[in-house]
Amino acid sequence: MSQTATATGWHLLAAETRKLRTVPTTWVLTGIGWALVALSGLLPFVFPAFGTEFTGSSAQVAEVIDAIGGNSMIVLIVGLLAVTTEFRHGTIGRTLQLVPSRLTVLGAKLAAGAVYAVLFVVTSLALVAALLLALAVAHGEALQWGPEVTTALWQAFVGLVLTALFGVALGALLRSQVIAITVALLWVFVVEQFVAFTLPRVGQWLPFQALNSVFITEEARAQMPPNMAFLEPGTALAAFVGYVVLFTLAAAILMRARDV
């Protein structure tokens, strides 16, 4: 790749990330995501009613980090916004005039979604670290680092980057912001939940059931109802990667074929 092409690629990525930064909805969703990470990860240790004593063990630290991946819907919706906002405001035509290659534009939006996911995880980790340190000081415990923490870290990064890519691809397929967000929410919270409870052996292979199986801990698996089915983490990750690849290829094909 020539230096000119590389520079153009970096400029296009910078432009796409700037578009995400300048959309107020991105900041609102990110703030909600940070709040959910803090609440879902630390609530059991803050309120005695939950009956969980904070010990600073590596399993507890990993559980708090897993809360970051548990808020994947935030990253999914931001990924949708990376594409659908342009169609909603009619700026996609101007973007394609400046960069005639539609696949290049799609690639830049996928990269911007991945950058957002990484930044969301990093900032969430900073928030989690500060809160864990506060808990450790308050309870007089030392934070421990074990293999569970390492696993939780890579799962958070990989899971949310893949989620962002899925969101961008889905947005490129549907294009309408209202339809894309509505379909995503209904699919995750209604369709997948219904299938998971009625046909668990089928439901475990659906995209976000598979993604949840990547993050769920062995302790959580043991506490689930016996009629619930979950893929093994490695199989679940491979399944979700397959969905991401499939949706991205479909988005690339249709983006080249359809009119703006």
Which residues make Cβ contacts (< 8 Å) with residue 94, sequence separation at least 6?
none
Considering its fold, how many domains does the chain have in total?
A: 1
Q: What is the pLDDT of residues 35-52, one digit of tens each?
A: 999 888 777 777 756 667
* CA separation for the pair 213, 236 (Å, rounded): 6
Q: What is the pLDDT of residues 4-15, one digit of tens each?
A: 445 467 888 888
Among 7-11, 42-46, 88-92, 161-165, the range of highest mean pLDDT: 161-165
pTM of the model: 0.89
Residue 226: which domain range?
Answer: 3-257
Burial class (CB in 10 A: 0-12, 13-18, 19+), 100: exposed
Number of Cβ within 10 Å of residue 225's Cβ equals 7
**pLDDT at residue 8 in the model:** 63
